[in-house]
Amino acid sequence: MREPVKDTDFVVRAGTFLRRGMVPALLTVFILSGCSRGYISAYSDNLNRSSWSLTAVTADFGGTVSLYAEDLPVPGEGGALDIGPVYAAGLFDLDDGHTVIEENITDRLYPASTTKIMTALLAIKYGDMDEMLTASSRVPEMEWEAQKIGIEKGDKMTLDQAIHYLMVYSANDAAVLIAEHIGKDYDDFIRMMNEEAARIGATNTHFVNPHGLHDDDHYTTAYDLFLIFRECLKYPKFRELIDLNYYSTIFHDKDGEIRAIEVPSTDFYLLGTAAPPKGITVVGGKTGTTNQAGNCLIILSRSADEREFVSVILGAPDYSSLYVFMNRLLRQERGYKPGL
């Protein structure tokens, strides 16, 4: 087991979180079999900005994706930074559209609960926040140690309530509840996730569930995760969700009784148990942890001059070092000058 890395910008209250796993084994399967996914990664970090593009990628939905890099951070243009023992890390300048720092951002890795940003995106894009959702028997059926709020068959809540539990507390049962509502059924929602990823240009991603609990065939890259997060940030609702440090509401259980559940954020920055570097404001983001994925985090932040950045780390060895390493990324925002 690796020891947490110490850093003056980071303080963790003892016992706040339980470490759940070690770093993941890297996926090496590049071609899928037994399905109709007719595409493979179309980007390469060996290409420079002038020649880089995602060109006419045939995707799940039978269409094509053309994504060009005029205002988009791309692999291969960022600098290197030794932030610590993680599998992948990236810092992306949203305002000027450049990759600032990159480390293994095109490697396929397990995303854990950062998967939920795609679930949230589809809920916001295709759902009605006032619609009432009723839990099926599938909603509570998951491994006992999975993060959840205890939704049972027949419980009712609005989509707005469910998406808050999803993003603030990372509730896996809320993810299934949302999936069954937004899609024609659970499997259709998974199809929608992969279709949306292809439309965005996340061509090295494959989802098999809406929450990120481990599956060998459920993977993404740090760069694809950035592309999905960047798309999410176009929606004010998503920005509202990632900025909350707790959520409290009431809903009705299967017997019509009122349940009140208040949950904290899983993000140490929002809880105040981790502090970003001076001059940097963390708006919020999404955490993720499984034994196979390690500890993951993707966030939106602002520098002192109000420039927006997205930072992502996949595969940190533990929660303490995750925030130490993230702060090392965030420090690169201070005094950053695009094009230099």
Sign of CA dihedral 210, 211, 215, 217: positive
In a domain, 22, yes or no: no
How many domains are contained in the chain?
1
**Cα maximum dimension of the chain:** 62
Q: Report CA-CA distances (Å) from 196 to 193, 225, 231, 336.
A: 5, 12, 10, 32
pLDDT value of position 335: 83
pLDDT value of position 145: 83
**pLDDT value at 4 more than 60:** no
Q: What is the mean pLDDT of the chain?
A: 84
H helical segments located in the chain:
116-126, 159-168, 172-182, 186-200, 222-232, 236-242, 268-271, 319-330
Q: Tell me the pLDDT band of 338, cut-offs 50, 70 and 90.
A: confident
pLDDT, tens digit, for every residue of 234-261? 999 999 999 999 999 999 999 999 999 9
Instruction: Confirm if 297 and 228 have CB atoms less than 8 A apart.
Output: no
Sign of CA dihedral 4, 144, 165, 113: positive
pLDDT value of position 70: 65
- Residue in 53, 23, 92, 41 with CA at minimum distance from that of residue 205: 41
How confident is the model over 218-247, as a mean pLDDT?
Answer: 98
Distance CA 19, CA 164 (A): 24
pLDDT, tens digit, for every residue of 34-51? 332 222 334 443 334 333
Instruction: Confirm if 325 and 5 have CB atoms less than 8 A apart.
Output: yes
**pLDDT value at 285 more than 60:** yes
pLDDT, tens digit, for every residue of 109-166? 999 999 999 999 999 999 999 999 999 999 999 887 899 999 999 999 999 999 999 9
Distance CA 82, CA 85 (A): 8
In a domain, 124, yes or no: yes
pLDDT value of position 20: 26
In a domain, 126, yes or no: yes
pLDDT value of position 143: 82
In a domain, 251, yes or no: yes
In a domain, 5, yes or no: no
Domain, as residue range, for 219: 53-333
Name the DSSP class of 18: -
Q: Domain with 248 in it: what CATH number? A: 3.40.710.10
- The residue to which tokens 């920055």 are assigned: 269
Query: What percent of the chain is predicted at pLDDT more than 70?
Result: 79
Q: Report CA-CA distances (Å) from 248 to 182, 261, 262, 340.
A: 23, 6, 4, 45
In a domain, 161, yes or no: yes
Query: What percent of the chain is predicted at pLDDT more than 90?
Result: 76
In a domain, 173, yes or no: yes
The backbone region for 45, taken as left when phi is positive above 0, alpha when psi lies in -120 to 50, beta otherwise, is alpha
**pLDDT value at 185 more than 80:** yes
Bridge partners (DSSP) of residue 260 are 250
In a domain, 280, yes or no: yes
H helical segments located in 13-157:
116-126
- The residue to which tokens 């990236």 are assigned: 90
